[in-house]
Amino acid sequence: MLTKFQVPRIVTTMNNIFKIRKSERWLALAALLIFAALNALLFVKYGKGFLHGAKGGFWLIFHNHFQVSGYDVWSLIFMSNEKIYFEITRHPFFAIILFPFYWLNQWLMPATGVNFAMIFMALLLLVAAFYSFIFLYRVFREVLEMKAFDSLLLTLFFYGCGSVMTAVMVPDHFCWSVFLLTMTLYLSGMAFKRRRQLPTWVLSLLALFTGGVTLNNIAKTWLSGWFVNGRKFWRVKSLLAVVVLPCVLFAASCLWQIKTIQEPQSVVDKRIGEKTIAKHPEMKKNIAKHNQWMKTVRHKPITDKPFLNWIDTTTPKGESIVENLFGESIQLHTTHTLGDMCVDRPMIVKYDYWFNYFVEAVIVLLFFLGIFFGVSSGSKFYWMCLSWFGLDMFLHLVLGFGLNEVYIMGPHWLFFIPISVAYMFRRLSAKPQCALRVLLTLLTLYLWTYNGALLTNYMLN
């Protein structure tokens, strides 16, 4: 039970988690500059077309020109004209968070002739990427008590992964998810370390935002509450605040957005589509041709109903694990680089060089060795992380949720690889530890060079 002396210290910790400490300032500055440079690349490729303060036609401006892997540009369209094209039931608070920027953009756009949607999203991504870097570094440095160099190395390994490097710059929700998940990891880890519980109000806020941005991530907050608070998580007060309240708010938010925004919008969009096809009859043939092509490359869901339409029963799991789950998520492919499966990318793309498979095999081997050391350590924090990873693998590999595009989901779970390797670090003696450090340094340098070069070339081409 929390004593009257413990509560203020936990509240103080919550108040100070966003404060950059003196020992973190230089690496924080370096991280900020790197993330700013990555976002600048997106402006080089798309800024000329996306910054125009047009009166309409934002679907044509954004959707018809943006292609970065399977990531969506719905946030920019929403901040431009309040139209919602993402699945509200999967992202119930996404539009709610963006509303202030939509209103500000509506005031600035007519006055300046500039659409600030891309600028606003870049700033939001910069903040999310920056603090997720800080929180993950602290997980290694403070929770796992790694050396400063090793903590930085493991953090850089995560951000060198292809899907993570891409997520910090594309106008989608994935970077926000990384920020919220790493914050949850850090708070949970510090609670374990200090042998304290997470206050119910903290868990409630985490559940609201993790689930509000990406619904399935709320289960990770619930798992954290269970592991950290134990049986007290199942008390009525806790369940009402952490489980019931977020779900009620999500339902209310979804209903409001569907009734006031999406349904009226669909009527208008249908009318515009009919007029456009009437003026350009060839569009109907092109749309039918594209839809037919999509049927040949996309998975076949078990049903078209919400949520269930993402459950995949046809994508080959073996190839997807090799080429997508542990492949594209970590190393981008040189063929169809950052291609969109809804446009021209095949479901399965193979690497051109054997070296890519060798690197993948080394990383997977380190990962599973790390799991062995983590499990054998008996650490509750590690078991909590393992439960998160198990949840993602159950969704993707057992249910087939988003399996055909599983590589863009990497930011939700890839941090578990360096966390597992960290547990191996902690158990090894000096010489094997030094060898592992050298190997991890080479892998990290390779990932940043390889993925960075492909990403830069794509954005500058």
SS (H, E, C) 334-398: CCCCCCCCCCCCCCCCCCCCHHHHHHHHHHHHHHHHHHHHHHHHCCHHHHHHHHHHHHHHHHHHH
Residue 119 CB neighbours (<10 A): 19
The full length of the chain comes to 461
- CB of 175 closer than 8 Å to CB of 132: yes
- CB of 420 closer than 8 Å to CB of 374: yes
Q: Which of 432, 433, 420 is nearest to 366 (CA)?
A: 420
| Residues paired with 30 in a beta bridge | none
In degrees rounded to 5, what are phi and psi of residue 404?
-70, -20
| Residues paired with 52 in a beta bridge | 114
SS3 state of residue 311: coil
Give the list of residues 6+ apart from residue 46 with CB closer than 8 angstroms, or none.
Answer: 65, 66, 118
Instruction: Chunk the chain into consecutive blocks of 10 residues (it has 461) and report each block's average pLDDT, rounded to whole numbers.
Output: 44 72 94 96 93 80 87 93 90 94 94 94 97 97 96 97 96 96 97 94 96 95 96 95 96 93 81 68 61 60 61 80 95 91 84 95 97 95 97 91 89 97 94 95 98 95 85
In degrees rounded to 5, what are phi and psi of residue 153?
-60, -45
Structure tokens given for 159: 């951000």
pTM above 0.85, yes or no: yes
In degrees rounded to 5, what are phi and psi of residue 339?
-75, 155
Give the model's pLDDT for residue 249: 96
Give the model's pLDDT for residue 343: 77
Burial of 15 (0-12, 13-18, 19+ CB in 10 A): exposed
Question: Helices 200-213 and 218-229: crossing angle, nearest 10°?
Answer: 160
The Cα 308–Cα 399 span in angstroms is: 10
Identify the residue whose tokens are 């929770």.
143
SS3 state of residue 310: helix
Give the model's pLDDT for residue 153: 97
Give the model's pLDDT for residue 292: 61
Question: Helices 174-193 and 200-213: crossing angle, nearest 10°?
Answer: 160
Give the list of residues 6+ apart from residue 116 with CB closer than 8 angstroms, or none.
Answer: 79, 101, 104, 105, 108, 109
* Amino acid residing at 417: I
